[in-house]
Amino acid sequence: MMQETRIALRFLGKYNPDSIEEFCALGGYEGLRKAVEMGQKNLIQEVSDASLWGYGGAAFPTGKKWSVVAATKGKQKYVVCDADEGEPGTNKDRVIMTGDPHSVLEGMAIAGFAVGADKGYIYLRYEYPQLFPVLEKAIDDARKAGYLGRNLFGSNFSFDVKVVSGGGAYVCGEETALLESIEGKRGEPRYKPPYPSEAGLFGCPTVINNVETLAIVPSIVLNGGNWYASIGIGHHHGTKVFTLSGNLVNRGVYEYPRGITLRQLIEDVGGGCPDGHRLLGVQTGGASGNIISVDMIDFPMDVEDCAAAGATFGTGDIMVFDDTQDVLEIVENLLEFFTHESCGKCTPCREGNTRLLQLIRKIRRGDGTMEDLDTLQDLCQTMKDCSLCGLGQASPTPVLSTLRNFRNAYLNRIERGGKE
Ligand SMILES: Cc1cc2nc3c(=O)[nH]c(=O)nc-3n(C[C@H](O)[C@H](O)[C@H](O)COP(=O)(O)O)c2cc1C
Ligand code: SF4
């Protein structure tokens, strides 16, 4: 198997998360110390030079986000760590927080210093209750050791962190629904603009970053933005934590330089399909990512290359399925998830996902017509164009991509009356 390049996973298995002493012995919190010494402007420049793009799914440049919040006037500012990780098949944030909670706290404190925020929240997935005590212990230890709290390193910078429970809904990972949820309201997305960087938590300028994004920040501060940017393969920058799931021999969470090809991830890292089965297809980027066929996997894993290849970078999830799987059953499964998780605030998503599910079930039963395929296509386009948030905008992707890449699966069901 190819050697991993661990940056977000730098300390995994190397210290006991219970022991801040062990973390500090590895150089932990030295990034925060250096950040405070280098000043806000230089710090944001390093993060911009790193070409660090948010790893929560939307791939927004982190340096740009921080500079907007730093430049926005506000007596109170916040840093929020999006640890909701509701994406089916994505487990990377759980792995990071379980093995290295202090790097996440350090990344949050550095973000706080960069933008002038003195309060941070970790919005922790409701289904990860085991991580509550882990994070709270880490926060407590960091406070006692002087890495959280007032006047850090003798400066006038203060920063503290609180863990709050997620609402138990996929949509609560969406940044504005998450803010509503922290404020004690229903976790429904807000209209944008204004964006959270200008009016976020309790109306104050807020940085929201994913766990993986924040866990990388201390290494960038310690080693420099150009160092991180130079790690990718060819012209690609940095690393990505990929979650390999489905019909693979070596399922798990791995970190590789961006630019590694999807084929390498599936075959060299994942070990291919088990029991001699043939690869049929793969969904990349998460549950709302594109589903592509076996002949489409020779491209570098990065945001633009994925888009050009008709795939999705997203959260770095790679869900593989072999020739024993039924593509339409997979699509039905995903639509059941989206129908259940739609918050119902806007019509295209609330009604659209339900209708997509009905149509797929009709086709799977053998009652589908060619007209239904046109209806699916139209409905998906309307949902993409008119839904309020990313859930409804992206949930048609599995349908659209399978209509394109696995059209025969639909045609066979229609022609053979439901039999494969
Ligand atoms: C339906 C939906 C669910 C999301 N869930 C998560 C999540 O669980 N974790 C996450 O970091 N980002 C999630 N996002 C993306 C966030 O809205 C936001 O882009 C991200 O937290 C920003 O952090 P980053 O710039 O570090 O990626 C979700 C977006 C949508 C539309
Ligand atoms: S797109 Fe779906 S999840 Fe998002 S606001 Fe509309 S109904 Fe809610």
Q: What would the pLDDT profile of 49-58 be if each residue is shown by its tens digit?
A: 999 999 999 9
| Tokens matching residue 315 | 């959260």
Distances in Å between the Cα of 77 and the Cα atoms of 26, 32, 110, 111, 214 are: 31, 18, 14, 11, 17
Question: What pLDDT does residue 420 have?
Answer: 55
Question: What pLDDT does residue 418 have?
Answer: 54
Q: Ligand 2 within 6 A of 189 CB?
A: yes
Question: What pLDDT does residue 303 have?
Answer: 96
| Tokens matching residue 376 | 């699916």
Domains and CATH numbers, the chain: 20-229 (3.40.50.11540), 239-322 (3.10.20.600), 327-415 (1.20.1440.230)
CA of 390 from ligand 1 middle (Å) equals 9
What confidence tens digit (pLDDT) does each residue in 18-61 have? Answer: 999 999 999 999 999 999 999 999 999 999 999 999 999 999 99
Nearest CA to ligand 1 atom 29: 174
Atom of ligand 1 lying closest to residue 212 CA? 26
Q: Ligand 2 within 6 A of 391 CB?
A: yes
Q: Ligand 2 within 6 A of 203 CB?
A: no
Could you give the angle at which helices 101-115 and 62-71 cross, rounded to 10 degrees? 40
Atom of ligand 1 lying closest to residue 393 CA? 31
Distance from C-alpha of 182 to C-alpha of 177, rounded to nearest angstrom: 9
What confidence tens digit (pLDDT) does each residue in 325-352 have? Answer: 999 999 999 999 999 999 999 999 999 9
Residue of 380, 387, 395 best suited for mutating to test ligand 2, as the one with most atoms within 8 Å of CB: 387
Q: Ligand 2 within 6 A of 81 CB?
A: no
Closest ligand to the CA of 187:
2
The stretches in the chain having pLDDT less than 50 are none
Residue 319 φ/ψ, nearest 5 degrees: -105, 115
The model's pTM: 0.97
Pocket of ligand 1 (CB under 6 A): 54-58, 60, 82, 84-87, 170-171, 173-175, 208-210, 213, 389-391
Spatial contact of 370 and 377, defined as CB atoms under 8 Å apart:
no
Atom of ligand 2 lying closest to residue 171 CA? 3
Closest ligand to the CA of 340:
2
